[in-house]
A and B are shown apart, each in its own frame.
Chain A
Amino acid sequence: MIRFENVHKSYGRHEVLKGIDAEVEKGQVVCLIGASGSGKSTLLRCVNGLEDYQAGGIFIDDRKVDAHAASIHDIRTRVAMVFQRFNLFPHMTALENVMEGPAQVLREDRKEVRARAEEHLRSVGLADKMDFYPSALSGGQQQRVAIARALAMRPEAILLDEPTSALDPEMVGEVLNVLRDLADAHMTMLIVTHEIQFAREVADRVFFLDSGRIAEQGTAEEVLARPKSERTQEFLRRVSHLL
């Protein structure tokens, strides 16, 4: 459902994506791994037009993503995003954060939206925090609200940009558990992550990015347990202390 065709992007003269070809199928969980600066977050942000790209194409169900076209707003309602630093709206409660998209952007019936938002917050284990402002929640709780906010859009896919990198270690587990549930429910997810163990466990496919190219892609088993590329082997050796 998400297809990358020879995607190129540069910041000025610095080329960050040097021709990305890949495909994410419906219901798949794909983890993007690679060193920082390899372009994995940039690639993710191109999918919903938070960044533009200069050549090639990204297609969502055959609709081309163009950050500067009017169609981008509609694409964003169908591909949700979860950020490293949560980015909850600080002037709204957890419940209001989750309701904002469906109520204000999709203009759905407020009562229904509310019921659904409550359901989503329950599903991420925050039934008792609905009326709390983000500042009163821990990092792990905030990220779970952010996931509920993404789910409330009833997206066809969710993009997650290092969802656990800004969390204290003891809170990583609660967020990963929510993501495991989503993977089990066959939510299409594209996850930039440093959690190799988690990737091995939930990913259907893994893309290993190295300086703007996909150096290796395949099933989690193929890429993470029996990497063919030397770069992948080297990267996995370097992050192995995290396992």
Chain B
Amino acid sequence: MAPLTERMQDYLPLLITGLWRTVAVSLLALILATALGLVWAMLRTSRNVWLERPARFIVEFLRGIPILVVLFYIYFVMPEIGIDLSAFQAGVIGLALTYSCYIGETFRGGIEAVDRGQVEAAKSIGMRHGKMMRRIILPQAVRIALPPYGNNMVMLLKDSSQVSVISVAELTMQGKMLASSTFDNMTVFTMVAALYLCLTIPLNIVMRQVELKMGKSR
């Protein structure tokens, strides 16, 4: 076998392509999941039961299904009803749907943790619901929800490896293919793990900094 450094140099380009694919899947899924999660949170904290109940049902429903099954469903079942998605699209949507529920619950927790007196104070100066949410409640809820949201981010990034099962050529998938063609399992999967850490560790550090900064201004 070639020396270790040489082998690593051989593997690296393929793994880096996978890494970028992982970043792309995660980032797109995060953006979608955050937007959708915000929608779930707004609906679930609404006083209107016709908004609250369906939202609660959808969230409970999605949360009860394993992410792999969600991915299979979107990738294999949707084409049967005429919705053809690429593996990449299906992966992003599956991750986003699943994580929108976790993120939505995180946001809801944040909104509900804001003191009732804030709602009354906002109302007492004549604010309507929408503006009160935007100007008073959400800015405070975000601070409360930020640490768990950061956890969700890291978990989503790691769970993006699941989309390898529907053949998205992200980092885990690339690793698996490299390993099965070279039988150099130890080197390949150690590199894969290290590359994931290259993403998750800086992410954790950034989140901690943001938390510290936000904590100061209150």
Contacts and interface: CB of A to CB of B under 8 A. Distances in A.
A37 interface: no
Interface in B184-218: 217-218
B123 interface: yes
B53 interface: no
A138 B55 CA distance: 42
A50 B120 contact: yes
A153 interface: yes
A104 B136 CA distance: 11
Given A50-B123, A73-B126, A80-B124, A104 B118 contact: no
A100 B218 contact: no
A89 interface: yes
Contacts of A50: 120, 123-124
Contact of A153 (B120, B122, B125, B139): B125
B131 interface: yes
Interface residues of B, number: 20
Contacts of A65: none
Contacts of B135: 100, 104
Nearest to A74: B126
A90 interface: yes
Nearest to A78: B126
A105 B218 contact: no
Contacts of B218: 90-91, 133, 135
Contacts of A91: 139-140, 143, 217-218
B120 A83 contact: yes
B131 A105 contact: yes
B126 A87 contact: no
Contacts of A48: 123-124
B143 to A, nearest CB: 8
A101 interface: yes
B124 A85 contact: no
A88 B118 CA distance: 7
B120 A80 contact: no
Given A91-B140, A104-B131, A104-B135, A83 B117 contact: yes
A196 to B, nearest CB: 26
For B120, B124, B131, which residue has the most chain A Cβ atoms within 10 angstroms?
A: B124
B117 A104 contact: no
B125 A101 contact: yes
B117 A77 contact: no
Contacts of A81: 120-121, 124
A50 B127 CA distance: 12
Interface string A152-176: 0100000000000000000000000
Nearest to B127: A105
A104 B52 CA distance: 28
A80 B140 CA distance: 23
Contacts of A73: 126-128
Contacts of A104: 127, 131, 135
B34 to A, nearest CB: 20
A61 B136 CA distance: 30
Contacts of B126: 73-74, 76-77, 101, 105-106, 153
A104 B130 CA distance: 12
Given A104-B131, A133-B217, A135-B218, A89 B124 contact: no
19 contacts: A49-B123, A50-B120, A50-B123, A50-B124, A77-B125, A80-B124, A80-B125, A81-B120, A83-B124, A87-B115, A87-B121, A89-B121, A89-B136, A91-B139, A91-B217, A104-B135, A105-B125, A135-B218, A153-B125
Which are the 5 A-B pairs with shortest beta-carbon distances?
A101-B125, A77-B126, A87-B121, A87-B117, A81-B124
